[in-house]
Amino acid sequence: MTAPGYPAPKISLRHIGKEFTVRPTKENPQGSRLTALQDISLEVAAGEFLTLVGPSGSGKTTLLDILAGLTKPDNGQVLVDGKEVTGPGRDRAVVFQQYALFPWRTAAANVSFGLEGATGLDGRKLSRSQRAEKAREYLQLVGLAGFEERFPHELSGGMKQRVAIARSLAYEPDILLMDEPFAALDAQTREQLQDELLRIWRSTGKTIIFITHGIDEAVYLGQRVAVLSSRPGRLKQLVDIDLGDRDGDVDLRSGAAFVEHRHRVWSLLHEEVLRAQEAGHAKIQPDGSAPDETWDATPQTTHGKAA
């Protein structure tokens, strides 16, 4: 536990910057550099649920990759529990939009797969039966008790995503990084999974960073919503969300607090979408370049870059 009044951040993003090289094309034979993220600083408390929204191409996935340790920032640092992230680690698990399950493995085997090589509290590798037990436990947590032996093709989209969440939770990470995990689901299943995720978050105390295109989803799930600007992605604003008492049978989404917060986030995003369109970024090419984009000839300094 941290001292009251001085909660040490679980995650600190310090001046994160990231550039990509855009491959030369016929129209742009020189190629160019594209700034995906610029000077992002943000702290996330232990046990916080933070949602992240921003126009398409604003660098949300890039930021998540950096947090996961899959991509290195060109500038700045990510600290988890005060230690710099230099690569992937078991303290952080990622849930993607695609279910990314092995089709030839059952639900239980998909969940226990990630545990091969994992060690228990005694520092010893988990045995096959311990792995199976954990898989059962986490499938139960996501509401899939009884579905252990089903193969992915025998499960609905929502169930597959539950398996993916169970697999991530089974690592027992402190941090869950989620990149539009419910985007492919129908509205009803999505709402159901949102509630499930909130329940899991409350019962496990995980720190969650959740990317979404859905403003409703961001407001419904997040204690704070981080709004990124259009490219280059900067932190435009952090919006505190307080929807009041979540207990009971009230439809939170139609309450005044929800509508107000939703409008706030919508307005912030709308400004960015307009700005992106005015800059002509609406036409982003498949290679990531925008034909009209001003070429950024001033590379950012590279302190904090891994050697």
Ligand X SMILES: Nc1ncnc2c1ncn2[C@@H]1O[C@H](COP(=O)(O)OP(=O)(O)OP(=O)(O)O)[C@@H](O)[C@H]1O
Residue 200 interacts with, from Mg ion, ligand X, none (CB under 5-8 Å by kind): none
Shortest distance (Å) from residue 61 CB to Mg ion: 3
Distance of closest approach, residue 234 Cβ to Mg ion, in angstroms: 16
Name the residue nearer to ligand X (CB basis): 53 or 101. 53
**Residue, CB closest to ligand X:** 288
Per partner kind, with CB cut-offs from 5 to 8 A, the member of Mg ion, ligand X, none near residue 223 is: none
Beta carbon of residue 274, minimum distance to ligand X (angstroms, whole number): 17
Nearer to ligand X, 57 or 173 (CB): 57
Nearer to ligand X (CB atom), residue 71 or residue 189: 71
Instruction: Enumerate binding residues for Mg ion (CB under 5 A).
Output: 60-61
Nearer to ligand X, 126 or 284 (CB): 284
Residue 56 touches which member of Mg ion, ligand X, none, C-beta under 5-8 Å by kind: ligand X
Residue nearest to Mg ion (CB): 61
Tokens 């001046």 belong to which residue? 15
Binding site partner of 267, from ligand X, Mg ion, none, Cβ cut-off 5-8 A by kind? none
Sheet-wide strand order for 75-80:
32-45, 9-22, 75-80, 83-84
Report how far residue 175's alpha carbon sits from residue 168's, in angstroms, rounded to the nearest whole number. 10
CB 88 within 8 A of CB 70: yes
Query: Which of ligand X, Mg ion, none has residue 288 at its interface (CB below 5 to 8 Å by kind)?
Result: ligand X
What minimum distance in Å lies between the beta carbon of 34 and ligand X? 6
Using CB under 6 A as the criterion, which residues of the chain lie in contact with ligand X when the complex forms? 20, 34, 36, 54, 56-62, 231, 284, 288
* Choice between 20 and 147, CB closer to Mg ion: 20
Q: Which is nearer to Mg ion, 66 or 111 (CB)?
A: 66
